[in-house]
A and B are shown apart, each in its own frame.
Chain A
Amino acid sequence: VSAVTFGDLLYVAAGHLAAAVTSWDQQARDPQAAAWQLRRATEVLTRYADGMTPWEQAETLDRTDLVWWQRAGTEIARSLHLAAGALDQGIKELGGPPGAPEPAPGFPLDAAVTGLAAARDLLYTHLTVSPDDSTAPRTEWAATARSAQVFRTMTDLAASWSEQLGQMAGQLAVLQPGDSVAGPQFAAAGQWLRLAGASAWQARAVDPVSAGDHTLLFAIPPAATAQREAPRPAEARAELCRGITLSASRLQASARGSAQQALWSPGSTAGAWRWTATAGAVTSHLSAALLRSVARRAGPLGLPREQLRAAMHAMAAAQARWHHVAGQWGHLTTETRFLASGTVTEASDLLVRLGRLACDNPAWTPAAVQRAPLRDPALLAPDEPAAAGIVAAVHHSACAFECVAAADLESVQAATRAQRLFVPTRTLSEPSSEIGRAYVVAPEGQTWPLIQAYRSAVTASARAAQALDQAALAIGAPSQFMAQAREARREQERRSGPRSGLWGPVETEILQLGIRDAGLLRRAATIDAAARTLVAEAANASAGFTPPSGERASPGRRRGLASPDFPDGLSVPVPSPPGGRRRRPPQGAGRARSGPAA
C-alpha cells in the first residue's frame, strides 16, 4: 500500500552515514556538535541492537542456526553501551551547555540518525511493546520483522555502521588538543565501536547474509494505520483493489488477540464467529471467481495459467471449508449476542469490494436484488498490470482470512474450554434434568465437529494463501514482496523444527493450569526448547554424530533464559574467537566506563 518500506528508510540513512564519514574532517571541527551527533548515532544503534537481541523470543530459542548472530548481537549491544558511556564522559569533559545542541543544517550524521530512528519506528509499528520491553505481534508483518532473516541482516548492518562510527570517533579523538581529557574518552568510544563492528565477522563467515535477506527489508511496509475507508458507489478497479488491500490489513490487525478475549469478552460471540465464517465462505467464493476470470486471460496476456488455476482451486476448497464451518454452528450459541466489531466491519468492506470487482454491478451487495453476472474477463483484466493488481488484492484477502481462520479456531477452542458455548433445550431429543432451562452447556458431541470444521478451514485457508503466494510471485503482482516475506517465514518455521505450532510438555502443563503470564510461558517454552535440543544432541551422540560447535546451544544461555528473572536478569556469556582466546577489551575502555582517562 505504501511506497516507503523499512529497507528504503534504512538505506537512505546508510547513504547519509557514508556521506558523514567522508565529510567528517569538516564536521569534527566543532567537537561539541560532532560528539553529540556521534552520541545520538550510537544511541539509535544501541536501540537497534537491544531490540534485535532475540532473547525474549521463545520461538527463536531452538534456532541453532542463529546462534552466531545471537552472539554477535549480544556483543554489539554490549560494546555500543560502553561506547555510549565513553562518549558521555568525553562530552562532559568538553564542557559547554548541558543537553544536545541543535545540529547545523545539512549535518549528514544528523540526517543518518533521523533516518535510522524512522526506520526503527516503522519496524515497531508491527509490534506491541509491553512495559517489560517484550514485544508481541501487532500486524501480519510482525513475524517478518522478528524473522531470522531480518535479525541477521540488521545485526550485520549494525556492525557495519558501528565500524563507521568507530572511525569517526577515532578521528574526533585525534583532533583534540594533546592535553584534552576528552580525547582519550573519544578514543575509547572509537575502540568500543570498532569492536562492535568486528563482532559480526564470525557470524558472517559461518552464516553469511544473503541477497534475499536484504531484499526482505524492502518488503516491510509501515503498519496500516489508515482509517477505515467504506466502499463508495462506482469505485474503479484500482480503487477497489486498494480498498481490498487496506481492509485485509485492518482485518488481520483486528483478528489478532481475539483468542484471549474469547474467554471473557461479551464481544466474542457465536453470532460474530458465525458471521465471520459466512464472510469467509462468500469471500472465498468471490475470490475463486476472480481467479477463474484472470486465468481465462492467461493465453492473451501471457499469464502463468498453472499457478492461477492452482490458486483458484485452492480458493474453491477454502470456500467449501468455510461454508461447512458456518453450517456446523447449527444451534450452538454463546450467552451474549452479536455486536458489530472491527473484524465484522473490515470483513464486510472487503467482501463488498470483492463482489463489485468480480460482478458486473458497481453497486453489488450480498442482497439478492443486487445479484449480477460475473464481469467479462476481458473487461476485468484488459492488460497484465490489471490482472496483477487483481491477483494482489485477492492475495491480501486470502492472507487475511488465513489469519482470521487461525484466530477464530483459537477463540472457539477457548470459548469451549470456558464453557461459553450453549445449545437450546428445544433441540434436545431426550428430556433432561435441565429441561426447565432454555439453554444448557453444549455437549462435546456438538462442539467437537465445530472445532474440527475450523481446523479444516484453517488448513484450507492456509493452502489458498500459499497458492496465491505462488501466483503473485509468478505474475509479478504488487504483493510479491509479501509472498517473499511469507515464504521466508515458512522457511524459518521449517528450520525451527518441531517447535513450530506445538507446545512442549512444560508449556502445556502451565497452560493447563490456566496461567497466561507471558513471562512464565516464555520460560516454559525455553525449558521445552532446551529439552528438545538436549534430546536431539543425545540422539546424535548415540548415533556417533557430532554437530558443528556453532550448532550447539549454550547451556549457560538456556539456564539464563529459564531463570526466574528472565529476561531481565540474563547473564550473557562473552563468546571466544576461534582458538579459544577471549578478545581483549579496547585499551582505556575500563577507564571510559568508570571515569576520565588518565
Chain B
Amino acid sequence: MGLSETDGIGGRLAGAATAADALAAAWDAFDLVAAAAGLYANPASAQYAAFMFTAAAAAEARDWAGMAPSMPGGPGRQAGRGPSLAAGELEEFCRALPGHLAMAAGQAELAGDREAFTRAAAAAEQIRMLLAGCGE
C-alpha cells in the first residue's frame, strides 16, 4: 500500500500539467516523507538524528509548496497518515524528488512558484543526503 502511494505521488509529480498540480503533488510527497520519517525516528536507533532531521526538512519543504501562489485550496491527501514504507523504499522515493522539483521550477511561470519549487528541491536534496544508506 505504501509503495503504491509513493508510485502514485511520484507519477503525479512527474506528469503534472500545471504548477498547481505539481505543487499539490509536491505537498503530498513531502507530507508522506515527513510522516514516514517521524515513524522511523526511534531513539534506540543509530539513525535517530537522520530521521528526525528528515522529518523537519520534509515539513519545511511541504510548507514551501503549500505557501506557493498557485497552490490550490481544498482537501488533499489524507494528510499525516503514516505509510507502511520500508526505509529503503523511503530513500528511493526521496532520491527522485530533487529532479522532479527542479524540472517543475523550470516550467513554473510565477516567480513565487519558481522559488517554492527551487526551495523544495533544495530540501529534497538535503533529505536525499540525510537518508542515503539508511536502508542498508
- Residues of A whose CB lies within 8 Å of any CB of B are 270-271, 274-275, 278, 281-282, 285-286, 319, 323, 326-327, 329-331, 333, 335, 337-338, 351, 355, 359, 366-369, 371-373, 424-428, 431, 434-439
A479 to B87, CA, bound (A): 41
Residue B130 lies at the interface, judged by CB distance under 8 Å to chain A:
yes
Distance, CA A286 to CA B71, complexed state (A): 39
Residues of B within 8 A of A435 (CB): 73-75
Cβ contact of B80, chosen from A323, A331, A425, cutoff 8 A: A331
Bound-state CA distance A428–B79 (Å) is: 9
Q: Which of B33-88 contact A (CB under 8 A)?
A: 38, 41, 43, 46-50, 52-53, 55-56, 59-60, 63-64, 66-67, 71-77, 79-80
> Of A326, A338, A425, which contacts B74 at CB under 8 A?
A425
Chain B residue numbers with a CB within 8 Å of A368 are: 47, 50, 130-134
Give how many A-B residue pairs fall within 8 Å (CB-CB). 107
Residue of A nearest to B91 (CB): A368
Closest to A372 in B: B46
Number of interface residues of B (CB under 8 A): 37
Task: Choose from B38, B48, B64 the contact partner of A327 (Cβ within 8 Å).
Answer: B38
Instruction: Give the residues in chain A near B133, CB-CB below 8 Å.
Output: 368-369
Contacts of A330 in B (CB 8 A): 80
Hey, which chain B residues are within 8 Å of A439, CB to CB? 66-67
Give CA–CA (A355, B43) in the complex, Å.
14
- Chain A residues lying within 8 Å of B50, measured Cβ to Cβ, are 366-368, 371
Task: Judge whether A425 and B75 touch: CB under 8 Å.
Answer: yes
Cα separation A424 to B79 with both chains bound (whole Å): 10
Q: Does B102 contact A (CB under 8 A)?
A: no
* Residue from B38, B48, B53, B74 in contact with A426 in the complex, judged by beta carbons closer than 8 Å: B74
Offer 6 A-B interface pairs, CB within 8 angstroms, sorted by A.
A282-B49, A424-B79, A426-B27, A426-B79, A427-B80, A438-B73
Q: Is A438 a contact of B49 with CB atoms below 8 Å?
A: no
Residue from the list A355, A366, A372, A438 in contact with B72, Cβ < 8 A = A438
Contact across chains for B79 and A331 when beta carbons are under 8 A apart:
yes
B79 partner residues in chain A, CB cutoff 8 A:
331, 424, 426-427
> Which one of B49, B67, B77 lies within 8 Å of A337 (CB-CB)?
B67
Contact A373 B46, beta carbon cutoff 8 Å:
yes
Q: Please, how many angstroms separate the alpha-carbon atoms of A327 and B43 in the complex?
A: 14
**Bound complex: CA of A282 vs CA of B71, how far in Å?**
33
Residue on B nearest A276 in the bound complex, by CB: B56
Sorted nearest first, the 10 A-B pairs with minimum C-beta distance are A426-B76, A366-B49, A368-B134, A368-B50, A369-B133, A371-B46, A271-B60, A427-B79, A278-B56, A333-B63
Q: How far is the CB of B61 from chain A (nearest CB, A)?
A: 10
| Distance in angstroms between the alpha carbons of A435 and B76 in the assembled complex | 11
Neighbour of A282 across the interface among B53, B60, B73, B132, CB < 8 A = B53
